[in-house]
Structure 1
């Protein structure tokens, strides 16, 4: 039984681990299982964990006759950081293997979250620009469209970074991002230069959509964490509404100034060949992973997974299968292979999954819906249908990936019991956990070996005297 001091240190460690995971987009089921696994390994069995998206709470009562120990921690909204997520995931695995104790784990965790990155901020900004350039390639844009999309992304990242430093809510950051992308594209389109404004705006919409946590929201809903799922869905809808407000505001300003607003036709999905789609998707996915501080060793596998997924989606779509079903099957492939790829590259599956589905985000449908809605009249109904199609694609992406994780992850021993209790796959945290029986046997064997070693050293000392 742990002393009160050790128990409080363990609770604090679990809460800090959960904060990093939850703020990086991990599902509530993954965070709960990871926190309970760490607590159990450090001597606290049957600890209670409560997650409500903006806060974490944990309590432990070793004996009904003693008061319960508990603590809570607020989860601050932070930018996606897959480097810290990966390092914390490795620390959790070392804790579960019995390599580090609570004091060493606390010291290492503090060093992880307080240490900066070897990736310069200007390089991250360049990564966002390269990501939008990859999306422009994927959409079939020429050199001017690609360059303009990259320039817009760099400006948007600079502006949003400045707003984030001033603690502006993410909704206003999305509004400004959508407005900057639209006004810049329409401004260049008003010049004699021949540029497809729609593709530029679409590329930047996908950039703004990439950081929205649809994946974690749907995973929480499927695994029974409805309060957290509702909060994440509300955050996602607000962020998307910010993009819509920014783009529609830009379109309204351009219309009031007499600038012609180009509209994408319904058949615009046939923009690019499969090969160029794969190339653009690979560039966009790997650049997004780079901009979110993913380890460099995983960038090439992410590019390959994204290129294959978009090719699968395109081939199925050419067979006259609906857009939602085609991206759902491609997302299923991402979920199936991400577990194996992440295990070989020593990163959580979430680091592979999210960048790989970024090129399939429904930026095109959102832009079409907005331009149709901005015209009013008879175009209102097609605009609403385009927005509904965008929502269905987003849901298909998230549900397809999670189904792939359900199929791919083997459930064994203690991990199987945890998964059955939480009813969900693991996108963060170890799946293969050493059982308590094996752990006790290992500790008894180590204690017996130490006793034998001590006895042998005593005997040798007595013989020498």
Structure 2
């Protein structure tokens, strides 16, 4: 069959809304036993379409997309390629698609398991484009399969060495934000890249990810403590603790945190629980690595003064704003976000920090309140941009919240624990967790506000409302 991609003009909003209405009429109606036994409703599903939908869902989930977006994308494709009575189930590691031909024919079900995850928002962006064009009728099945192969084999927009450099740039930008200076920022860059390479070395030998993260934190923290000892001994006055803060910022799990809350809000509780558990395991690995180094340093007599720990506070000096933009864009590079999105992400990083610091300075708001306000603003802008440009939302959100990740609070808590003030340390760790959860909840609240006042679903999917929302209203 000839491709439909030759149509002129951009995809019409009216076409998309029409397909949504068709989907709702076909898919959301209550099926009765008589409906299923009607021989005239029998329609054998295309095995090629089932395979395509499963492969798209698998690649989206493995590349870092949320469960809800994967589900809606798969449902969109099932409507686009005429799979009758399709149901999709997406969990943290498993994707299944079931379609019922009708009559006495048995349902056809396929399943795929995600065993390896590589955060790659470039592929997520390309997959969303594929789904939207198919949902609008601009791609035939053969063309969609060819496009999927191109996406699967496509090279990322950045070379591998630049992805590794991105982690170092996160740490150096964070060091600048907390007052580390040029020398400390340079050492933070080198320490984080070395820690990342250590984790890659362990990953290539099959070591579990928990120990990879712990080793990365341990290596970078050891370099930070070594510079702190040299600075103290030679009275150099370097804010060497900023190295550890920067490394923590580079390792903190912003993506699984936001995705876990997003899945929970959308009703995917199994995936939400799994992602949240992943978040706490990563935090545990970071705490283990940094805590072991800090404890050893204190026992060896390295002076870690609690009064002079690095923190950006509420400063809005130009260097701090540059650091906020740098952290956001460096995070985006490490996640393989398309280059054309970097300027907007840098601006959103400055925006979230400005709102946070402004509220704390003008209204003396507590950190959690400032964090929620900044995160909601980023959530609204990010979701609006995603719908405006027809791109996935996570590449906008995840890097943009990076300036507020609680690296300095987590570092303070670990130092307090190692110096014998366990209660104060636990309170600092609890505050770090509250700030992290406030970030995730805030950006998701921003998305809900956009969803409430804009038409359409995610990725051109054939639904306007969220099924979980309909269930919680008791079906009315």
- With normalisation by structure 2, the TM-score equals 0.83
Shift of 1:2: 8.7
- Pairing 1:324–2:368 present: yes
Query: 1:31 maps to which residue?
Result: 70
Listed as ranges, the matches of 1:308-457 within 5 Å are 308-318=351-361, 319-345=363-389, 347-376=391-420, 379-409=421-451, 410-412=453-455, 417-423=463-469
Shift of 1:20: 2.3
The answer for unaligned runs of 5 or more in structure 1 is: 425-465
Query: 2:325 maps to which residue?
Result: 282
- Pairing 1:197–2:236 present: no
The answer for unaligned runs of 5 or more in structure 2 is: 1-40, 471-476
- With normalisation by structure 1, the TM-score equals 0.85
C-alpha offsets along residues 229-260 of structure 1, whole Å, 9 cap, x if unaligned?
A: 11111111101100000001111232343333
C-alpha distance in structure 2 between counterparts of 1:227 and 1:343, whole Å:
27
Shift of 1:74: 0.6
Q: 1:161 aligns with which of 200, 210, 215?
A: 200
**What SS is found at the alignment partner of 2:364?**
coil
**What SS is found at the alignment partner of 1:311?**
helix
The verdict on how the C-alpha distance between 1:184 and 1:336 changes in structure 2, with shifts beyond 3 A counting, is same
CA contact (8 A) 2:383 2:393 kept: yes
CA contact (8 A) 1:139 1:272 kept: no
CA contact (8 A) 1:210 1:358 kept: no
Q: 1:254 aligns with which of 297, 309, 332?
A: 297
Shift of 1:104: 1.9
C-alpha offsets along residues 289-329 of structure 1, whole Å, 9 cap, x if unaligned?
A: 11211111100010011101110100101121010110110
Give the structure with the larger helix fraction.
Answer: 1
- Pairing 1:89–2:89 present: no
CA contact (8 A) 1:174 1:243 kept: yes
CA contact (8 A) 1:332 1:401 kept: yes
The verdict on how the C-alpha distance between 1:252 and 1:219 changes in structure 2, with shifts beyond 3 A counting, is same
CA contact (8 A) 1:23 1:78 kept: yes
C-alpha offsets along residues 212-231 of structure 1, whole Å, 9 cap, x if unaligned?
A: 51001011111111111111
Shift of 1:61: 0.8
CA contact (8 A) 1:366 1:390 kept: yes
The verdict on how the C-alpha distance between 1:411 and 1:423 changes in structure 2, with shifts beyond 3 A counting, is farther
- Equivalenced residues, count: 421
C-alpha distance in structure 2 between counterparts of 1:236 and 1:329, whole Å:
22
Shift of 1:420: 3.3
The verdict on how the C-alpha distance between 1:306 and 1:140 changes in structure 2, with shifts beyond 3 A counting, is same
Q: 2:275 aligns with which of 232, 239, 244?
A: 232
C-alpha offsets along residues 130-162 of structure 1, whole Å, 9 cap, x if unaligned?
A: 221111121122111111111112112222222
CA contact (8 A) 1:301 1:341 kept: no
The verdict on how the C-alpha distance between 1:264 and 1:3 changes in structure 2, with shifts beyond 3 A counting, is farther
**What SS is found at the alignment partner of 1:117?**
coil
Q: 1:241 aligns with which of 284, 305, 326?
A: 284
Shift of 1:21: 2.2
Shift of 1:101: 1.9
